[in-house]
Structure 1
Amino acid sequence: MTGSALARVRAAYDRIDAVRRPEVWIGLRPQATAEAEARDIDARTAAGERLPLAGRTLAVKGNIDVAGLPTTAGCPSYAYRPERDAPAVAALRAAGAVVLGSTNLDQFATGLVGTRSPYGAVRNAFDPERVSGGSSSGSAVAVALGIADLALGTDTAGSGRVPAAFHGLVGLKPTPGLVSTEGVVPACASLDCVSVFARTLDEAGEALALLASQPSHPPGRAPGPHRVAVADPAALGELDSGWADAYARTVDTLAASGAEVTTVDVSPFLEAAALLYEGAFVAERYTAFVDEQLAMGSTDLDPTVAGIVSRAGTIPAHRLFADRVRLAELADRARDALGTADALLLPVTPGHPTLAEVAADPVGANARLGRFTNSTNLLGQCALAVPAGTVDGRPFGVMLIGRPHTDDRLLAIARRMTPAVPLAVVGAHLTGEPLNPQLLTLGGRFVRATVTAPRYRLHALATTPPKPGLVRMAPGAEAGASVEAEVWELPAEGLGLLLAELPAPMTLGRVELGDGTAVPGFLCEPEALVGAEDITGYGGWRAYRARKGARSR
C-alpha cells in the first residue's frame, strides 16, 4: 500500500468518477466527510499510533449497517438509518479503514447473480455481457475496479465467493459465528456470515484477524504436508467449456506444491447443497421477511425474490424436521469423505452465465451457480475462494472448504496455489518502455510477442508518461487493424494490485489476439480519445514512438 490515507481516499473518488458505474453503489459518503476522516488517520499515524488498515478504502454491502448511510438490503421501502456501525464495520474502521459507501446487492441477499435489485443490475467488471455474481455484487465490483481496497459482503449460500470468482478476487467466508452478524439484515439468520473481498490473501487474512469476535481454535491435525481432497471431474456435473481443464490444472498446481491430493466422494456436499433451496431451510428467509414487516405486495420487491420467499412461506413444519435429519446424515457422510484432509478443493461455480441467460431462466441459472457453495454454511464449514487463472479471458476461481475454525489453514493452503494470469500490453508496459518495471516488480514474466486481432484502433493519449489507448471497434464502425502486443504472466495477486493503481482513462478488459485467443489486457475509455491522434497505421506504440523520435531530431 502506498500513499497517505488522504491521497488514497481522493484517488478512490476519482476512480468512482472515472469508471462511471453508478449501479455499484446504493449510498456514497460525501467525499469531504471521507477526506476529513482520512486526514485524522494521517495525523494519528504521524503521531505514532498503529493503525493496521490506515489508508485502506472500504466498501460495505447494503445489508450491513454503516452509520450515516441508509441500510436498504436492496429494497428502498425497507430502508432505515442506523445510529451506529455494525461491529464488523466498526472493527475495520477502528483499524484505520475509510468507508466509501454502501454497495448494491441482490435484494435481501437472495441470489447469486447480481441482477435482482431495483437499483439496477451490477455489470461484471471485465465482461459487461456476463453477470457480476451475487448477492454481494457491488462489493466485489468495487474492489475489482480498483475503487476499494477491501469490501464486506455477506455469504449465506455463496454470496461472498461467487462474485469473487467472477472477478479474480479473494473471497473469504469465515466459520459461522466467528464474525459478528449484529447489524446485518438477516437472510437466513442461522446461516448468515459476514465475508471479505480482497485482492490478496494477506489482505483477506489481515481483515479476518481484525473481524474475528472470538479466538479461533483449529482442530489438531497429524503432522506432514497439507492434505487436500479433490473431486473426480465426472462427479462435478456439467461445467462450462474449459472449466474442467482449469480445475484439473489447479489440482496439478496444488500437487506440485507438495500438498497430498486425494480424490474423494463429493456427493454428500452436493446433496446437502440441494437442501438449502429445494428443502425446508429456505423457510427461514420467509421468517426474516415477516420479522422485517415486509409486505409481499410491495412495488419495489424484486419479483424473483418475492416469488422465492412467498413459496417458502407454504412449507409445512414437519418438512423442516425431516430435512434436519437428512442434513445430519449428510454431515456424517461429508465428514467421513474428508477423512484426514485439511480441505476440499472445488470450483466455486459450474460456469459463468450471461445476463441474457439469467433473464431467460432467473431461478434455474441462479440455482446452478450454488451447486458447490450452498452446502458450506449448512455444514458449519469455512471457505475461501481464490483466483485460479482464466478461461476464455475471464477469471476462473476455485474454493477451499474446511472444517470449522480452520480459516487460517485455508489461507496457508491457498498460498501454495496462487496461479499466474496472462496480461496483454500494447503501450507503456511493453518491454523497454517506462512502465514495464511495474510488471517486473509485481513478479511479471514475459511470455511472447504477438499482435491483437484486427479489430482495434490505437490512439496517442496526452498522459504522463506518454501512453496509448486501445479501443475495440464495434461491428459496422471504422475498420480496425492488428496492433503490436506482448503477453506477460503475473501472479493473480499482482494483477489485482496493478488494477488497483490503474489510472483513468485506462481499464482492464478482454483483448483478442491474432491467434484467436483472448486474455485480460489494457483498454481505454472511448471518451478519452476525443482529440487524440489515431496512430493505428504505425502498427504499434513502439513504431509510433520511433517515427516520432526520428521526426523530432
Structure 2
Amino acid sequence: MTLPGKGPRNGPIIYEELGMLKIWEDHETAGMDYWDSSLGITSLSQDYEAGIKPQHVVQAIFDRIDAYKQVQPSVWIHLQPIGEVMRAANELSIRWPDPKNRPPLYGVAFSVKDSIDIAGIPTTTGCPPLAFTPTASAPVYQRCIDAGGLFIGKTNMEQLATGMTGCRSPFGTLHSTFSKSHIVGGSSSGSAVTVSQGLVSFSLGSDTAGSIRVPAMFNGVCGFKPTKGTVSARGVSPACLHQDCVSFLTSNVEDAEMLWDVCKGFDKGDFFAKLPSTRPIRKSKQLRFKFGVPPASALEICSLPFKKQFAEVIEIIQKSGGKLDDLEWNPFAAANELLYNSSFVMERLTILPEGWLAQNKQLLHPVTRQVFEGTLARNSSAVDLFKDLHKQAEYKRAVEDILTFEEDIDNETDEITLMIAPTTPFHPTIKEVDEDPIGINGRLGSFAHFANVLDLVGIAMPCGTYEIEDVFEGRKTRLPFGVTILAGAGLDGELLRVAAMLEEALQDVGQEE
C-alpha cells in the first residue's frame, strides 16, 4: 500500500473503492428502508436486534463520510475501501446470526488515531517522513475487532502528538464541528470529528497532556482517559512514554464504559501495564461524592463565557447530590507545571531515531520543529530529571490523600472525592493559534496536564453550549463547553458511575441565553 500523501488541495490522498449495499441483500432485508439513525452503541444494538443488518449501517456511514468531505476533506489519513468494510460486515452477519449471542461491539463502526498500529496499514503519526507499515496490530485495536467492531479508517492528528490545537498536521488543519473559525483541538483531532459528526460510534486515541479531553470538549463529545496501564499501549507510537495513555472518544458515558470493559486488561508486553487491582469491584446501593474545583485565582485564566458556564455547572452538580468541598489545589498546579516546564519534556526526543532531528528537522511542520528545538535548548541533565521525578512522586502521594474513595460496606454506601475543572480555559480561533501557536497551546493545558503526571482517571463531558458573535463568519455561533471530572488512579468504574449520574443534567448548561 502506498503511503497517503498530499493531494492537489494539500489534503490526504484517500484510498477507497466503490461498493453497493445490494451486494449483500437477501430475502429478509431486500425490502427494508434505508437506515440512517444514531450510531450510539446502545441505540445501534437495538437496531440490530430489530433486524437492521451491519451492511445497512456501513452504507449509511460511507454516505455520511462522502457528504462530509465537502466540509472537511482532511479528516481521514486512511479510509478503508467500502468493499472491505462490507465484507467484514457480511462476515459478522454470518458468524453471529443470533442477536442473543452477539459480542458487545457487533457491527459498531470505529475510527483510529493514526498513531495506533494496524497491520498492513501505514502508521504516520501525522508525520509522513517517519511513517512505517506495522506487521502486527495494537492489542487495543484487536480487542475492538474481536468484539465485533468494524474498522472504518485512521484519522488526522497533530503531528507526532505534539500539541492540543489540531493546527500542526501536514495533512490539513481541521476545525471544530461547531465553527469553521475555531480550533478542533488535538492531538486526537480527526478522531473527535468522526464521533461528533456521527461518522463512527467511537474512536481510539491517546492522551498525554489532554489529547483526548481537549478535542472532546471542542467537538461536544465525551473523552475518557482511563488509569494508565489498564488498557494496553503496546503498538501505539509514543509522545511521552511515561505519560501516554490509550483513551476513548464516544458520544456518551455509557459507550465509554462499554469500551473500557472491552479494552481493559493486563498486557505483559506493555512495560507500563498495571497488574489487575486486588480490590473487589462492587456497586454499592448508593455512591455519594464530594468534589473540589480550582480556586478563583486559577480560574481567572478562563474566558468570561467559560466562567459563567462553569459556575452553572457547579450549581447543577450540587443540586444533583455533589457536595462542594475545599480541596488543596497546590499539588495539581505543581504537577501541571511539571509536564512541559521541567526535564520531563526531554522524553519527547526519545521518539525520534538517533540523529534524525539534526538531519531532517526541515521536514517537520514549522511549529513541531520549534517544539523540538525548544526541547533541545533546555539542555536538562540527569540530575534535573531525578529531581523532577522526586517532585512527581511527592505530588502523587499528596493527591492520594485528596482524591479518596471510602467504602462503608455495612451501610452499602460509598463516597468518592473528585476534582472538577473546565476542560480548557477558552476556545481559540485558528487565526489566534496561527499568531501564537506555542503560547495558546500552553494555556489550553491549564487544567489538563496534571492528570497524566498524577496518574488520574478522567472523563471530559459536554456541558451545553454558549453563544458568541463570530467576527469571522459574521453571525452568531454556539460553541461547546465542557468540564473534566477526575478521580484517583484505579477508580475508573466509580468515576464513570458518577459521570453517568450527572450526564443528563449537564447537557443543557447555557441553553437559557
TM-score class, shorter: 0.7 to 0.9
Is the 1:389–1:419 Cα contact (8 Å) retained in structure 2? no
- 1-structure distance, mates of 2:488, 2:418: 7
Q: Secondary structure at the match of 1:226?
A: strand
Aligned to 1:236: 299
Q: In the alignment, residue 395 of structure 2 is paired with which amino acid?
A: L
Distance 1:182 1:249, change over 3 A: same
Distance 1:98 1:370, change over 3 A: same
- 1-structure distance, mates of 2:461, 2:287: 23
Shift of 1:416: 2.2
Distance 1:299 1:8, change over 3 A: farther
Shift of 1:122: 1.4
Aligned to 1:44: 95
Aligned to 2:25: none
Shift of 1:176: 0.6
Aligned to 2:227: 175
Distance 1:237 1:15, change over 3 A: same
Q: Secondary structure at the match of 1:116?
A: coil
Q: Secondary structure at the match of 2:317?
A: helix
Q: In the alignment, residue 35 of structure 1 is paired with which amino acid?
A: M
Is the 1:255–1:261 Cα contact (8 Å) retained in structure 2? yes
- 2-structure distance, mates of 1:230, 1:220: 27
- Would you say 1:62 and 2:137 are equivalent positions? no
Distance 1:173 1:361, change over 3 A: same
Distance 1:19 1:267, change over 3 A: same
Aligned to 1:104: 156
Q: In the alignment, residue 324 of structure 1 is paired with which amino acid?
A: L
Find 1:84's aligned residue among 126, 130, 136: 136
- Would you say 1:276 and 2:339 are equivalent positions? yes
Aligned to 1:396: 481
Q: In the alignment, residue 190 of structure 1 is paired with which amino acid?
A: H
- 1-structure distance, mates of 2:447, 2:301: 12
Shift of 1:275: 1.3
Is the 2:404–2:488 Cα contact (8 Å) retained in structure 1? no
Aligned to 2:353: 290
- Would you say 1:148 and 2:200 are equivalent positions? yes
- 1-structure distance, mates of 2:355, 2:165: 23
Report the structure, 1 or 2, having the larger strand content: 1
Aligned to 1:350: 425
Stretch moving more, 30-39 or 341-350: 341-350
- Would you say 1:366 and 2:431 are equivalent positions? no
Shift of 1:248: 1.6
Shift of 1:519: 9.6
Distance 1:295 1:22, change over 3 A: farther
Distance 1:304 1:418, change over 3 A: same
- 2-structure distance, mates of 1:220, 1:266: 29
State the Cα deviation string for residues 177-215 of structure 1 (Å, max 9, x = none): 011111101111111111100001111100011110234
Residues 110-509 of structure 1 mapped to structure 2, 5 A cutoff: 110-214=162-266, 215-216=276-277, 225-290=288-353, 293=356, 297-313=360-376, 314-338=379-403, 341-392=416-467, 393-419=478-504
Is the 1:219–1:406 Cα contact (8 Å) retained in structure 2? no
Distance 1:146 1:121, change over 3 A: same
Distance 1:86 1:201, change over 3 A: same
- 1-structure distance, mates of 2:466, 2:168: 26
- Would you say 1:18 and 2:67 are equivalent positions? yes
Is the 1:217–1:405 Cα contact (8 Å) retained in structure 2? no
Is the 2:58–2:85 Cα contact (8 Å) retained in structure 1? yes
Shift of 1:22: 2.1
- 1-structure distance, mates of 2:207, 2:486: 14
- 2-structure distance, mates of 1:195, 1:414: 16
Is the 1:349–1:372 Cα contact (8 Å) retained in structure 2? yes
Unaligned runs of 5+ in 2: 1-43, 267-275, 406-415, 468-477
Shift of 1:342: 2.6
Q: In the alignment, residue 326 of structure 1 is paired with which amino acid?
A: K
- 2-structure distance, mates of 1:218, 1:352: 40
Q: In the alignment, residue 329 of structure 1 is paired with which amino acid?
A: E
Q: CA RMSD in A?
A: 2.4
Is the 2:361–2:369 Cα contact (8 Å) retained in structure 1? no
Aligned to 2:32: none
Shift of 1:419: 4.4
State the Cα deviation string for residues 27-67 of structure 1 (Å, max 9, x = none): 11111001100111122221564221111111000000122
Q: Which has the larger radius of gyration?
A: 1
State the Cα deviation string for residues 277-325 of structure 1 (Å, max 9, x = none): 1111011111111369555534431121122223323322221122122
Is the 1:68–1:83 Cα contact (8 Å) retained in structure 2? yes
* Aligned length, in residue pairs: 428
Distance 1:416 1:34, change over 3 A: same
Is the 1:349–1:369 Cα contact (8 Å) retained in structure 2? yes
Is the 1:104–1:119 Cα contact (8 Å) retained in structure 2? yes
Stretch moving more, 218-227 or 316-325: 218-227
- 1-structure distance, mates of 2:303, 2:320: 27
Is the 2:316–2:505 Cα contact (8 Å) retained in structure 1? no
**Fraction of identical pairs, as percent:** 36
Distance 1:231 1:317, change over 3 A: same
Stretch moving more, 45-54 or 344-353: 45-54
Q: In the alignment, residue 409 of structure 1 is paired with which amino acid?
A: E
Aligned to 2:409: none
- 1-structure distance, mates of 2:297, 2:129: 46
Is the 2:111–2:155 Cα contact (8 Å) retained in structure 1? yes
- 1-structure distance, mates of 2:501, 2:56: 34
Q: Secondary structure at the match of 1:332?
A: helix
Distance 1:33 1:491, change over 3 A: farther
Distance 1:408 1:365, change over 3 A: same
Shift of 1:216: 4.7
- 2-structure distance, mates of 1:413, 1:173: 15
Shift of 1:382: 1.0
| TM-score, normalisation: structure 1 | 0.73
State the Cα deviation string for residues 404-430 of structure 1 (Å, max 9, x = none): 111111111112222468xxxxxxxxx
Q: In the alignment, residue 284 of structure 1 is paired with which amino acid?
A: E
Distance 1:291 1:388, change over 3 A: farther
Shift of 1:88: 0.5
- 2-structure distance, mates of 1:122, 1:251: 31
- 2-structure distance, mates of 1:283, 1:264: 31
Stretch moving more, 231-240 or 69-78: 231-240
Aligned to 1:481: none
